[in-house]
A and B are shown apart, each in its own frame.
Chain A
Amino acid sequence: MIPDDNDSLPVNASNAVSTKLNNKDTIHKESKENIENESIRVKVSVLNRLMALAGEMVLVRNQQIQLISDQSNSAMRTSIQKLDLVTSELQNCVMQTRMQPVSIVFNKFNRIVRDLGEKLDKEINLNIKGGEVELDKNILEALTDPLTHMIRNSCDHGIESPSIRSQKSKNRVGTINLSAWHESGKVLVEVKDDGNGINLESVKRNALKKGLKTEVELGAMAEKEVANLILLPGFSTVEEVSDISGRGVGMDVVRSNIEKIGGTLELDTISGQGSSIRLQLPLTLAIIPCLVIKSGEFNFAIPQVNLEELVTLYNEEVREKIELARGCEVYRLRNQLLPMIRLNEVLDSPEPLTMEKMSKISGKYQEIQEQEYDEFKKMQAESKWKDGKYRQSLTFAVLKTGLIKYGLVIDEVIGTEEVVVKSMHPHLKNLDCYAGATIMGDGRVALILDVVGMAKHCQSFLNIEEEQKIDLKVKSSNDSTQGVLIFRYGKSEKFAIPLSMVSRIEKIDMQDIEFVGGTEFITIDQTSTQILRLDKLLNVSELDQQKDTYLLLPKNIAKPYGILISGIEDSVECDLNLNTESYMESGLMGTTIINENMTLFIDIYQLIDKADPGWSQHQSNEKSINSKFKILFAEDVLFFRNLVKGYLESAGYNIVVAENGKKALEAFQKQEFDIIISDIEMPVMDGNEFMRNVRNILNNKVVPSIALTALTEEKDIKIIADSGFNIYEHKMDRERLLSRVAELLS
């Protein structure tokens, strides 16, 4: 600063002394260049101290600004504005002292590449670009090893030997381009070679051999995805270990090192033409953008790298959208189940939160919510609060790190701020939940939350993580409860249908309905969909015309049908042990009490059969054939038992049902069956064990078998196949099940 100021003086004065101007100017230039290139060594500790002081000055400035805001002394105001400017500039300048050009690291590679070239008998040229790009000292240090690994990889595996290169009519000399540049507030570093690229075939072979991926999965992968497999832990493509690269520490280490400093790695390869690896790095680690939030009376910062989005639920949504899965709160975010953690609770419990505690906590909140809702209902009923809405809100941040993704419920969002990260006191290093601390604008200390640490703190939550696909699974493993959709048709009755049988619900205009020979149709998605009116098929009240009308489109139906409904009431988790005694007619699966109301469960298939008898009649021939066959069906949940039994009986089969594998086995030993259909997850004896027993009894005789399951994971399917089932099918799909049964019997 000071020499610069001195410099500017002669320039201003030069008008007066014009004769000497030229001379002076040249001297001046020289000295300026000197100053630009000159450097002195400064201890890092001094720099750190300087940075801390600059930060402190910013705080003092902030306080000053607050102090004068209610005074109108203009002279004071100007002086503080100046202080403001100078302080900002000072802080920037101090930050710059920590920055070093990447050439410090880049230039080392000239020698490495030259040495390697000689050793490997390859001619390699290293082009360096953008060496002047500056990075924080810490990042630069952390970058050295990964970059070295990447360069060595390029030399060893990438660039071919000169003879091969000339055969391929490439330049004998291989080129590695090492470049760095700024892009949208980040620094990009790229290592690009014009060698052979990554051998995708050998990557695939290796992935298969190591059991990382199956053949089917590999077949479905794009080239780029295959190439990215080398970033998986425990992957090394070289068959022979050389002393240059491939010592077992592969690209996965490179990637994790880059991710540790908040960067990302992207890999690209074109077979025969070379590969490139691109690193995206933050400018500095010392200052990171954070979301500042409030929980209880204190502020916390969440690194923005981990933040995906913020979601706020309002009013009724708070009650409805947060569901429970295995005792933990989850939110359905664009069809993905997002486990939820409440920050207050995490901070309240020094011991890791176990499953039990988590469910206690979620229970507590559910209760509070219900209480509040009841109170609101009461107020509304007493019309104290006539057009008052249920006012509530819940804010959570969707956080992601690696594979873990969850929602963190917070009290309040304060805003975003660039914070200076200070590490935790060594005395507190054992606390997982914090990544560090920082000083906020108001001079208070705020803790920086560690996204991974918090997830670890909620152990149960990690267990959920292992079963990423909790969606279907949770529901079916607690089998007897199912998500059901409650809807209305007429004024009096309430109907229900399992959510898993609903494809979607469409709002329709009654005027769009067309009549074809007494049957109603409506065009949805360019297909004529036949409309079913419940009052015509069941003994129930007429359609409530005053309200909007919707069409419920069921899943797994061969012909397009839609059920006319007047509105959706709710969707709840409910016990599906249906009552079939108190009220029953064909077209219903049974009744149950939901929210103290009797609710009729409709049976879509029976309704369709009723509405369109012609369709099922032409199957009556088959029916008589089918009646020769005897089916053993094992299923623990009454609901599914009746459902599937219904499908099969309507197709004319003789069917024997059993509640679990043991009962089924007993039945099997008593009589002969033509086909066995069994659920997998059952109490006492599960489907797999049952089938293994059956296979033992049968020895080599063949009785075809179908596993009915909601399990879709590969390992489950493998177990199912290993225990002796011929095929597996989804529970809800009637058409497919019937055609499979027919197939196996023929």
Chain B
Amino acid sequence: MQLLNDDVSTGQVNKLEIIGKYVTFWIEDELLGVNILDVKEVSPVMTITAISHSAKEISGYVNIRGEIHLVVNLRYLFGLPYREIDNNCRIIIFKSSVSDPFGILVDKVGDVLEVNSDLIEPYKVDDPKKLNTNLLTGVCKLDNHLLVILDAHRLLKTGTENTEN
């Protein structure tokens, strides 16, 4: 685990600062993260039952311990081309408080990072083509990477909008 805030590393937490934990993952060469409080689990990819007629970004259904989950392929949501599912791929399943059972298919999971909310800057649209900006709540500069933070609550909503369009 990488600790980003000096205060945290020394054990002295500034009361005014809010530390958030984020589950990070990779889509292509982009590091993204979602709030750990929204995540139920990270699951290996199992057989995904494709759903014909559904929007492109919907990969299909998976059975995770007796519950059927919808899987959204984040690549499509960000307008990236199809990529074979390999051993690094994972499904991040969200809690039922986020939405009806669903998860996202990601290329690779990263670490759980603790980020001080002060370090998160609001996301500025400078390259609107590349990323679907509705989903993004902020960016955070890491040592050698940029962490883009997604709002899990908005994931399916954006999907719906896309379907309707």
> Chain A: residues with CB nearer than 8 A to chain B?
52-53, 55-56, 59, 298, 347-348, 350, 422, 425-428, 430-431, 433-434, 437, 439, 443-447
Contact = CB atoms under 8 A, between A and B. Distances in A.
Given A350-B53, A425-B101, A427-B160, 6 more contacts: A55-B66, A298-B49, A347-B52, A425-B70, A427-B156, A445-B47
Given A350-B53, A445-B49, A447-B51, A426 B68 contact: no
A378 to B, nearest CB: 36
B30 interface: no
A383 to B, nearest CB: 44
B47 A433 contact: no
B53 A439 contact: no
Most buried by B among A53, A425, A433: A425
A433 B99 CA distance: 23
A348 B53 CA distance: 8
A439 B159 contact: no
B145 interface: no
Contacts of A53: 66
Interface stretch (B6-14, B57-65, B119-127, B133-141): B57-65
Contacts of B62: 445
> What 3 pairs between A and B have smallest CB-CB spacing?
A56-B66, A347-B52, A445-B61
B65 A428 contact: no
Nearest to B48: A445
Contacts of B101: 425
B164 to A, nearest CB: 9
B41 interface: no
B66 A433 contact: no
Nearest to B47: A444
Interface in B3-55: 46-47, 49-54
Interface string B59-85: 011110111101000000000000000
Contacts of A433: 52-53
Contacts of A444: 47, 49, 63
B49 A446 contact: yes
B102 interface: yes
B100 interface: yes
A626 to B, nearest CB: 65
A615 B46 CA distance: 81
B66 A428 contact: no
Most buried by B among A53, A55, A59, A428: A428
A348 to B, nearest CB: 7
Contacts of A434: 51
A56 B68 CA distance: 11
A55 B66 CA distance: 7
Nearest to A346: B52
A445 B63 contact: yes
A288 to B, nearest CB: 16
B66 A437 contact: no
6 contacts: A348-B52, A425-B68, A428-B58, A439-B66, A443-B63, A445-B49
A447 B68 CA distance: 11
Contacts of B163: 430
Contacts of B160: 427
A433 B159 CA distance: 20
A572 to B, nearest CB: 36
Contacts of A445: 47, 49, 60-63, 68
B52 A350 contact: yes
Given A422-B68, A443-B63, A445-B61, A427 B52 contact: no
Nearest to A440: B63
A348 B52 CA distance: 7
B67 A428 contact: no
A429 to B, nearest CB: 10
B159 A427 contact: yes
Contacts of B100: 425-427
B102 A56 contact: no
B51 A428 contact: yes
Contacts of B66: 52-53, 55-56, 59, 439
Interface string B91-118: 0000000011110000000000000000
A428 B49 contact: no
B68 A428 contact: no
A434 B70 CA distance: 15
B102 A427 contact: yes
B52 to A, nearest CB: 4
Contact of A428 (B46, B47, B50, B54): B54
A348 B156 CA distance: 24
Contacts of B50: 298
Nearest to B53: A350
A443 B66 CA distance: 8
A447 B60 CA distance: 10
Nearest to A297: B50
Contacts of A348: 52
Nearest to B60: A445
B61 A437 contact: yes
A384 to B, nearest CB: 40
Given A425-B101, A427-B102, A445-B68, A439 B51 contact: no
Most buried by B among A53, A298, A434, A446: A298
A199 to B, nearest CB: 49
Contacts of A347: 52-53
Nearest to B164: A430
B96 to A, nearest CB: 11
A347 B54 CA distance: 10
A556 to B, nearest CB: 50
Contacts of A55: 66
Most buried by A among B63, B159, B163: B63
A52 B67 contact: yes
Contacts of A56: 65-66
Most buried by A among B50, B61, B67, B99: B61
A439 B52 contact: no
A422 B49 CA distance: 14
B49 A447 contact: yes
Contacts of A59: 63, 66
Contacts of B68: 422, 425, 437, 439, 445
Contacts of B46: 443
B89 to A, nearest CB: 18
A172 B61 CA distance: 63
A434 B54 CA distance: 11
A350 to B, nearest CB: 4
A444 B49 CA distance: 7
A737 B30 CA distance: 83
B102 A425 contact: yes
A444 to B, nearest CB: 5
Nearest to A430: B163
B107 to A, nearest CB: 22
B70 to A, nearest CB: 4
A407 to B, nearest CB: 20
Contacts of A52: 66-67
A444 B60 CA distance: 11
Most buried by B among A426, A427, A434: A427
Nearest to A343: B52
